[in-house]
């Protein structure tokens, strides 16, 4: 999931001062939600099935610091479509299909002047715990998942992927296994969909490790992680 903003339309770099609805920003990934967007979720205008959680410590492109960085706070974003980055609410012909109810980040995004949008990066953002009611029965389940599968130090893993200590390799393999086992059990017991899973638990750990050099395979003897 990207967290970047599109470069200003190069053809209009010097003259653009309004949105021409080209959709480039909508094809860079769905926006993170902010506190001002809470009612959009609470009122069902943006259902949780269209959201994905990016847990604190996951690597994303940071448009303020520049480059790929661990995210400093938990984020909840609108999901992309399929394997693409396009925001799920973007339609090639119609543009934004929730335009009147688009999140704050989309309202503030002016690709020709990114001051406003940069000022809210990782500020006043919504987390799963802001969205869910305090007595939601899934909250203890999320906490249990966080305990079983804490976010590892992705920067260390990325920078040392070809010489990870054997003990850490084993630990990551165990975490991947525990994560998948937990998800399988919870999805079955609570009858969750894949979309629900991405909101409640974020992406599986193995998916986050793959771009850092890990390959995962499954055999009758279990899951193996190779680097």
* Least Å from the CB of residue 150 to ligand SF4: 30
For residue 179, give both structure tokens. 């994560």
- Return the H-helix or E-strand segment holding 41: helix 38-42
Short-list 137, 127, 207, 221, CA closest to 175: 207
From the CB of 12, what's the least distance to ligand SF4, in Å? 8
Using the rule CB under 6 A, is 40 a contact of ligand SF4? no
Only segment of 49-57, 94-102, 128-136, 218-226 that touches ligand SF4 (CB under 6 A): 94-102
200 binds ligand SF4, rule: CB under 6 A: no
Cβ burial, residue 163 (10 Å; 0-12/13-18/19+): exposed
Q: Which of residues 73 and 98 has its CB atom nearest to ligand SF4 in the complex?
A: 98
- Return the residue of 34, 55, 77, 102 that touches ligand SF4, per CB under 6 A: 102
Is 26 a binder of ligand SF4 (CB under 6 A)?
Answer: yes
79 lies in the site for ligand SF4, by CB under 6 A: no
Q: Give the whole-angstrom CA distance, residue 143 versus residue 130.
A: 14
Contacts of 53 (CB under 8 A, 6+ apart): 74, 75, 76, 77, 127, 128, 198, 199, 200, 201, 202
Nearer to ligand SF4, 37 or 179 (CB): 37
Tokens matching residue 194: 């894949």
Q: Does 76 bind ligand SF4 (CB under 6 A)?
A: no
Closer residue to ligand SF4 in complex, CB, 93/188:
93
Least Å distance, CB 68 to ligand SF4, is 21
**Closest separation between CB of residue 131 and ligand SF4, Å?**
17
> Which segment (63-71, 102-110, 153-161, 212-220) binds ligand SF4 by CB under 6 A?
102-110
Binders of ligand SF4 among residues 118 to 137 (CB under 6 A) are none
Q: Which residues are CB-neighbours of 128 under 8 A, at least 6 positions away?
A: 53, 74, 76, 142, 199, 200
CB contact at 8 A, 27 and 96: no
Q: Residue 98: which of 53, 131, 51, 62 has the closest Cα?
A: 51
Considering only 49-57, 96-104, 136-144, 161-169, which stretch makes contact with ligand SF4 by CB under 6 A?
96-104
Structure tokens at 116: 């406003």
Binding site for ligand SF4 (CB under 6 A): 6, 19-26, 30-31, 78, 87, 89-90, 96, 98, 102-103, 106, 109-111
């Amino acid at each position: 999931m990207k967290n970047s903003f599109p470069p200003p339309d190069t053809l209009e770099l010097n003259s653009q001062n309004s949105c021409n609805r080209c959709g480039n920003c909508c094809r860079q990934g769905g926006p993170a939600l902010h506190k001002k967007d809470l009612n959009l979720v609470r009122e069902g205008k943006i259902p949780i099935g269209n959201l994905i959680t990016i847990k604190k410590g996951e690597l994303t492109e940071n448009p303020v610091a520049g480059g790929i960085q661990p995210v400093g706070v938990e984020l909840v974003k609108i999901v992309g479509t399929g394997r693409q980055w396009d925001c799920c609410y973007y339609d090639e012909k119609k543009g934004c299909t929730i335009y009147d109810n688009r999140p704050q980040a989309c309202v503030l995004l002016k690709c020709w002047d990114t001051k406003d949008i940069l000022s809210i990066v990782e500020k006043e953002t919504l987390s799963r715990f802001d969205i869910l009611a305090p007595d939601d029965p899934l909250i203890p389940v999320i906490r249990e998942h966080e305990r079983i599968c804490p976010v590892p130090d992705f920067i260390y893993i990325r920078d040392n992927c070809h010489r990870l200590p054997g003990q850490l390799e084993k630990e990551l393999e165990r975490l991947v296994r525990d994560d998948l086992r937990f998800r399988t059990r919870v999805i079955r017991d609570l009858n969750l969909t894949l979309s629900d899973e991405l909101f409640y638990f974020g992406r599986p750990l193995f998916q986050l490790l793959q771009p850092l050099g890990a390959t995962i395979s499954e055999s009758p003897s279990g899951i193996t992680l190779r680097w």
